[in-house]
Amino acid sequence: MVLGQRPAVTTAMRHARRSYVIPASAQTSDDSPDEATLAILKPDLLANPFTVASILDEIHSHNITISRRKQVHWTWAQAGEFYSEHRERFFYQRLLGYMTSGPILALELRAPQVIARWRQLIGSTHPARMRINNPTCLRAKWGLTDTRNSFHGSDSSESAAREIAFVFSSLKT
């Protein structure tokens, strides 16, 4: 496979159950309360419905519940508001261009310690590094570049609450 190129998705790949190592700090027990996080599958992923189906299977295989989902095509202003904390960063304009290039799929995920578990499952924002250091994570499989990294995951419970409200309360589909 060429760096930056996605693997072909075969029927066998879509139905295979892959094992991921979740750190002990993110392991769950039956008495842990559920928390929520926002997951976003970004525009490049939505171009291939088989990829989306494979990712949704991965989420379910980790006992993470998708409690809400919404497909939306953000305007420049909506993407700018969502990513306002990055306004002064060098990649901001590229990020907005990417996030407005096609529809996204927003998912509210629920499970015990779901913020840490989802972030572990997607890996860091550097897909090329993840292909070496964590080749089973979702960004290693489908991420393209640091900006076009294919996934979003809230970084804290405060961010998750704010982002979930933004996506599911204020945006029209």
For the chain, what percent of residues have pLDDT higher than 90?
69
- Single-letter code of the amino acid located at 130: M
Q: How far apart are CA 145 and CA 147, in angstroms?
A: 5
The rounded distance, in Å, linking the Cα atoms of 142 and 4 is 8
73 in active site: no
Q: Which of 15, 62, 126, 152 is catalytic?
A: 152
Q: Is residue 72 helix, strand or coil?
A: strand
pLDDT in tens, 35-49: 999 999 999 999 999
- For the chain, give the mean pLDDT: 84
Higher pLDDT, 15 or 104: 104
- Binding residues for ATP are 42, 91, 119, 125, 139, 149
What domains are defined for the chain? Answer: 32-170 (3.30.70.141)
- Tell me which of 21-25, 38-42, 76-80 is least confident: 21-25
Q: Identify which has the larger pLDDT, 40 or 128.
A: 40
